[in-house]
Amino acid sequence: MPKPYPEEFREDVVRVSRNRGPGVTVEQVAADFGVHAMTLWKWMRRADIDDGTKPGTTSQESAELREARRRIKLLEQENEVLRRAAAYLSQAHLPGKGSTRS
């Protein structure tokens, strides 16, 4: 799912909001750019975390964590397939199974 606003646009809006003049509110900046004020507040909070001025998980770390979780899930699925295949193959070699000799 594509993000509704390009990253460059988000960065520009955050920069304008941070450098706004006295008496100009974040809500006014958001309205000027056609975004909801809460959205701009979230972008500013994310930018502060990414810049290291506030504690939290950066966007980079979040992306790495998502990728690691995706990879773990894939490896667990592959492991389950191998476990089932090993169980099936071990059953096929048991005496009396599948043998037609009398």
> How far lies 18's CA from each of 47, 57, 89, in Å?
11, 21, 64
> Percent of the chain beyond pLDDT 70?
90
Q: Helix and strand tally (H, E) in the chain?
A: 4, 0
Can you give the pTM of this predicted structure?
A: 0.61
Confidence band for 28, pLDDT divided at 50, 70 and 90: very high
Q: What is the pLDDT of residue 93?
A: 76
Token pair for 51 = 């810049």
| Distance from C-alpha of 43 to C-alpha of 46, rounded to nearest angstrom | 5
Q: What is the pLDDT of residue 2?
A: 55
